[in-house]
Amino acid sequence: MASEISTRKVPFVDLGAQYRSIQDEIEPAISGVLERCDFILGDSVAQFEEEMAAYCEAGFAVGVDSGTSALELALMAVGIEAGDEVITAANTFIASALAISYVGATPVLVDIDPNTYQMDPNLLEAAISARTKAIMPVHLYGQPADMAAVTAIARRHGLKIIEDASQAHGARSAGRRVGALGDVGAFSLYPAKNLGAYGDAGVLVTNDQDVADKLRLLRNYGSTRKYHHEVRGFNRRLDTLQAAVLRVKLAHLDSWNSARRNHAEAYSRILAERVAAVETPQSAAGTEPVYHVYVIRHDDRDGLQRHLTAHGIATVIHYPMPIHLQPAYADLGYGVGSFPVTEDYANRILSLPMYAELEHRDLEYVCDAVASFT
Ligand X SMILES: *Cc1c(COP(=O)(O)O)cnc(C)c1O
Asked if 351 interacts with ligand X (CB under 6 A), we say no
Write the interaction track for ligand X spanning residues 185-224; mark x where CB under 6 A is met and - where it is not: ---x-x---------x-x----------------------
d(CA 88, CA 140): 11
Asked if 67 interacts with ligand X (CB under 6 A), we say yes
Considering only 44, 106, 118, 166, the residue that binds ligand X (CB under 6 A) is 166
Considering only residues 87-106, where is the footprint of ligand X by CB under 6 A? 92-93, 95-96
Asked if 66 interacts with ligand X (CB under 6 A), we say yes
Asked if 354 interacts with ligand X (CB under 6 A), we say no
Q: CA angle, corner 288, sides to 186 and 273, nearest 5?
A: 130
Asked if 33 interacts with ligand X (CB under 6 A), we say no
d(CA 138, CA 147): 10
Integer Rg of the chain from CA: 21
State which residue, 164 or 343, has the beta carbon closest to ligand X.
164
Asked if 68 interacts with ligand X (CB under 6 A), we say yes
User: For 66, phi and psi rounded to 5 degrees?
Assistant: -170, 170
Stretch that binds ligand X, among 60-68, 173-181, 242-250, 359-367 (CB under 6 A): 60-68
Look at residues 203, 213, 150 and name the one whose alpha carbon lies nearest to residue 181: 150
Q: Show the beta-strand stretches assigned E in 292-368.
A: 294-297, 349-352
Residue 146 near residue 27, CB atoms below 8 Å: no
State which residue, 18 or 66, has the beta carbon closest to ligand X.
66
**Shortest Å distance, C-beta 333 to ligand X:** 23
Considering only residues 169-188, where is the footprint of ligand X by CB under 6 A? 188
**β-pair partners for 64:** 202, 237
Which run of H or of E encompasses 253? helix 253-274
Considering only residues 116-145, where is the footprint of ligand X by CB under 6 A? 138
Considering only 85, 146, 164, 183, the residue that binds ligand X (CB under 6 A) is 164
User: For 305, phi and psi rounded to 5 degrees?
Assistant: -65, -40
Which amino acid type is present at position 365? Y
Stretch that binds ligand X, among 10-18, 63-71, 249-257, 363-371 (CB under 6 A): 63-71
Residue 115 near residue 134, CB atoms below 8 Å: no
Q: How many CB atoms lie within 10 A of CB 126?
A: 8
State which residue, 68 or 132, has the beta carbon closest to ligand X.
68
Asked if 305 interacts with ligand X (CB under 6 A), we say no
| Interacting residues toward ligand X by CB under 6 A | 66-68, 92-93, 95-96, 138, 164, 166-167, 188, 190, 200, 202
